[in-house]
Amino acid sequence: MDNPLIQPDPGLFIWTIATFLVLLWALRRFAWGPLMAALEAREKTIASAVENAERARVELEKVQANSAHLLAEARREASDVIARARTDADRFREEMREKAAAEAVAIAKNAEQQIQREAAKAVEQIRREAVDLSLAIASKLIKRNLSKADNEQLIEDTVRQLDQSQH
């Protein structure tokens, strides 16, 4: 076993330990500190992102609940508006129906009154014509049948009756 690689060499052993310690010190000073600072900054960034995501999730849930509430409120209001519109339309339709019925009654009354007036005028005209005709006939009959004395007596009686009816 004369192999030089297997035999311990105290100088090599000391230099290996010294090199290891210098390397450990250099890594700790120049690599480990910045590496740990970078890892801590990364950890803080991730924690902040998780916290922000949680806040965003909570806020989103609030917004969704609020929007669901607003949507339900809007649907209820729309339903109320539709119901009021239907009620108003029914009321308007009924008012128009009543107004049309009242107008029809008024038109019928006016037509009936006009018919009565026209009938009264026609009856009055027929009476006048009958009186005129009767007078004409009576006048012709009286001229033939009455003497002058009878005619004067008839005129005096008629004037007396007119005077009595006026008093």
pLDDT digits (tens, 9 = 90+) for 40-54: 999 999 999 999 999
Residue 2, domain member (yes or no): no
With a cut of 70, say whether residue 90 has pLDDT above it.
yes
Residue pair 146/154 in contact by the 8 Å Cβ criterion = yes
Tell me the two tokens of residue 58: 């909570």
Q: What is the mean pLDDT of the chain?
A: 86
4 belongs to a structural domain: no
pLDDT digits (tens, 9 = 90+) for 101-125: 999 999 999 999 999 999 988 888 8
In a domain, 167, yes or no: no
Structural domain of 43: 10-162
Structure token pair of residue 74: 């809007």
Is 125 inside a domain boundary? yes
Please state, in angstroms and as integers, the Cα–Cα distance from residue 154 to each residue in 122, 135, 145, 159, 163, following that order: 31, 14, 13, 9, 14
Q: Does 34 score more than 90 pLDDT?
A: no
Q: Is residue 5 part of a domain?
A: no
Task: State the total domains in the chain.
Answer: 1
C-alpha span between 56 and 64 (Å, rounded) = 12
Evaluate if residue 3 carries a pLDDT over 80: no
pTM higher than 0.75, yes or no? no
d(CA 31, CA 41): 15
Question: Which pair of structure tokens corresponds to residue 9?
Answer: 């060499």
Nearest partner of 84 among 35, 108, 150, 76, judged by Cα: 76
* 151 is a domain residue: yes
The reply to whether 58 falls in a domain is yes
Phi then psi for 13, rounded to 5 degrees? Answer: -65, -45
Q: Which helix (H) or strand (E) holds 143?
A: helix 33-145
Length of the chain: 167
